[in-house]
Homo-oligomer: A and B are copies of this chain.
Amino acid sequence: MDFTLTEEQQLLKDSVTRFLGDTYDFAARTTILATPEGQSAAVWAGFADLGLLGLPFSETDGGFGGGAVEIMLVMEAMGRALVVEPYLAEIVLTGAILRHAASVEQRAALIPALAAGECRMAFAHADPEARWHLAHVGTHAARVRGGYKITGEKVHVPFGAQAHRLIVSARTSGLIGARTGIGLFLVEADAPGVTRIEHRTQDGARIADITLSDVFVPDEAVLGDTAGALPAIERAYDEVIAALASEAFGVMDEAVSMTVEYLKTRQQFGVAIGSFQALQHRAAEMFVVLEEARSMAAYATMALSETDAAARSCAISAVKAHIACAARFIGQQAIQLHGGIGVTMEYKVGHLFKRLTVIEQQFGDRDHHLDLLANAESLLESL
């Protein structure tokens, strides 16, 4: 058992933190949010330069061979700075789909451009009726000569309207909800039959609702087994939830720091409000929750190396349920202890709270994951 970082890991952590410190303060972020795209090409290029975009891919695939620990370190820093660029969705999630489902040739064709920031990709999976059930895929892929024709609706695709290429999950057989019969298809974003509508989200990101109608996908653009993609999708979601947990920890860490600082400086009734015991104890409770969240992010990171998929998913559900709770508590308390200034857009803490609120629900809220866990084997015995 060893919690110390290797030299390379420390270097990575420092360089990301330095880069974001230099380019991504609250004012810079506010400026980025106000642009039409809602993200910064310069920042993305900076990520590419730092090697972050290729981080999770193997060196043979044109990446930097980073593992779950490296992603954890990057996501923590992203969380502290409230980065809106879709590192999580595009590099961690879509990247995981490529890593786990694409062939060697496909990976060679796609990953270098992704890692260079030249080709922007998004994974379009969520069905309007799915809520958070991963197997609930209603989009349909019909066999046609030389490929498939895809029809259906995908929602909440992160920055999906700005992507050059989409990976779309679609059902080749079976009823909606069945674990088999789901395939993955690489779709050019400007292919005939693709319609995209962009929406803003409460945490400053963009998502797209995508309609596919008879979109033709040639056989060579099928990723992996046309009926057996669900395990890869589940693994990719486990990985993105682990990364999200680290981001959440970063956001919470920043929220706790800002709150403690505020308690020390804000004066009321002639004293710093941090001298009031009720507020001290609240801050202490926030700190305890924060430390547990840090522990659970580490646990998620560790769980990704588990080979038994059921055990891995159990652990990840446990983490998501826990992080959702922690995010709500710390977010709400940070606002409460800041008082009026906390509920304005003018101060970073409100934005931390907003991001934490979205994180709560992203990829399944506490109830969803606790239900999964309640229906599964005991967490104690699994990992």
A residues with CB within 8 A of B: 276-278, 280-281
Cα distance, A278 to B281, chains bound together (Å):
7
The 3 closest A-B pairs by CB, nearest first: A277-B277, A277-B278, A278-B281
6 contacts between A and B (CB under 8 A): A276-B277, A277-B277, A277-B278, A278-B278, A278-B280, A278-B281
Quick one: which of A276, A280, A281 has the most chain B CB within 10 A? A281
* Cβ-closest chain B residue relative to A282: B278
Alpha-carbon distance between A176 and B276 when the two chains are bound, in angstroms: 59
Residues of B within 8 A of A281 (CB): 278
Complex Cα–Cα for A277 and B277 (A): 5
Complex: how many Å from CA A357 to CA B276? 33
> Min CB distance, A54 to chain B, in Å?
50
Q: CB-CB < 8 A to A277: which residues of B?
A: 276-278
Q: Which residue of B lies closest to A281 (CB)?
A: B278
A167 to chain B, nearest CB (A): 40
Q: Find the B residue at minimum CB distance from A284.
A: B278
State the CA gap A277–B278 with chains docked (Å).
Answer: 6
How far apart sit A219 and B190, CA to CA, in the bound complex (Å)? 85
A278 to B280, CA, bound (A): 9
Contacts of A280 in B (CB 8 A): 278
A229 CB, nearest partner CB in chain B, Å: 36
Task: Give the distance in Å from the alpha carbon of A52 to the alpha carbon of B278 in the complex.
Answer: 46
A281 CA to B276 CA, complexed, in Å: 11
CA distance A364 to B143 in the complex (A): 57
> A278: which B residues are within 8 A, CB to CB?
277-278, 280-281
A180 CB to nearest B CB, Å: 34
Nearest CB to that of A276 among chain B residues? B277
* Minimum distance in angstroms from A281 CB to a CB of chain B: 5
Q: Once the chains are docked, how many angstroms separate the CA of A278 from the CA of B283?
A: 12
A371 to B18, CA, bound (A): 52
| Distance A281 CA – B280 CA, assembled complex (angstroms) | 12
Shortest Cβ gap from A211 to chain B (Å): 37
A280–B276 CA distance with the chains assembled, in angstroms: 12
Q: Give min CB distance, A68 to chain B, whole Å.
A: 37
State in angstroms the CA–CA spacing of A277 and B281 once bound together: 10
> Roughly how many angstroms separate A38 CA and B278 CA in the complex, as a whole number?
44
The answer for the CA separation of A280 and B281 in the assembled complex, in Å, is 12
Closest chain-B Cβ to A336's Cβ sits at a distance in Å of 13
> What's the least CB distance linking A257 to chain B, in Å?
22
Cα distance A302–B360 when bound, in Å?
40
CA distance A353 to B289 in the complex (A): 29
Residue of B nearest to A280 (CB): B278
Q: What is the minimal beta-carbon distance from A138 to any residue of chain B, in angstroms? A: 29
Measured between C-beta atoms, what is the minimum distance from A253 to chain B in Å?
24
The residue of chain B having its C-beta at the shortest distance from the C-beta of A279 within the complex is B277
Q: How far is the CB of A370 from chain B (nearest CB, A)?
A: 15
Chain B residues, CB < 8 A from A276:
277
A208 → B minimal CB distance (Å):
37
- A333 → B minimal CB distance (Å): 14
Tell me how far the C-beta of A135 lies from the nearest C-beta in chain B, rounded to whole angstroms: 26
